[in-house]
Structure 1
């Protein structure tokens, strides 16, 4: 579900944060859903646990998740307003689109 693109200039913790925030905004992760443990996600993505921990800390600071010792990290459902442009930009980058290609795609479907 969560991936990190080593060729993407966006730091791995931010790629993780943005993808989880997008999943919450899209309703694919709902209130009460449990995220993988820091250790498990770090192992799955072949990253240092501190990288995943930073992403989770950022998400907690935004009010999207809550971490409790023994209960894990769960979606709070108290999401801040969604920045749709940021969600689109992260998704486009994750798909390997250049800025020019992403803008061209938007222009192609933009209705005036």
Structure 2
């Protein structure tokens, strides 16, 4: 998995939810294609500096949502067919929202901000709005 996942210990969001959210987002935007093998629980936990149970819970939640499949031989991989029905109340991001996200990333990079800082800024702004 080439994509980077970050844990922000300063936020109220539990680490397993951060891992789950970031992986599901990477799947949604196509950064993780079907069949892509995710790191082992222990490996990702070590990289993130969290307990293995944190990553295991995130993977379990992703599997329950049908986004990944886990088996003994291949480990955890992105599901061949990601569910097309969103959860109740969830909607697929419109193209203009995805374009705005891309714009945010480009502008952040121009300003010298790393991914963690961009996520922190976005999370902080969402928290201010009460979302």
1:94 aligns with 2:94: no
How far residue 27 of structure 1 moved from its aligned partner, in angstroms, is 0.2
Name the CA distance, whole Å, in 2 between partners of 1:51 and 1:101.
Answer: 23
1:79 aligns with 2:104: no
Name the CA distance, whole Å, in 1 between partners of 2:16 and 2:29.
Answer: 20
Name the CA distance, whole Å, in 2 between partners of 1:100 and 1:12.
Answer: 18
Contact conserved, 1:8 with 1:93, CA < 8 A, in 2?
A: no
Name the CA distance, whole Å, in 2 between partners of 1:55 and 1:93.
Answer: 22
Secondary structure of 1:28's counterpart equals coil
Q: CA RMSD in A?
A: 2.9
Matches within 5 A, 1:10-89: 10-76=13-79, 77-80=81-84, 81=86, 83=91, 84=93
Residues 92, 24 of structure 1: alpha-carbon distance in 2 compared, 3 angstrom cutoff = farther
Contact conserved, 1:64 with 1:75, CA < 8 A, in 2?
A: yes
Higher relative contact order (CA 8 A, sep 6+): 1
Q: Which runs of 5+ in 1 are unaligned?
A: 104-112
Q: Structure 2-normalised TM-score? A: 0.66
Q: Which runs of 5+ in 2 are unaligned?
A: 94-100, 102-115
How far residue 70 of structure 1 moved from its aligned partner, in angstroms, is 2.3
Contact conserved, 1:25 with 1:79, CA < 8 A, in 2?
A: no
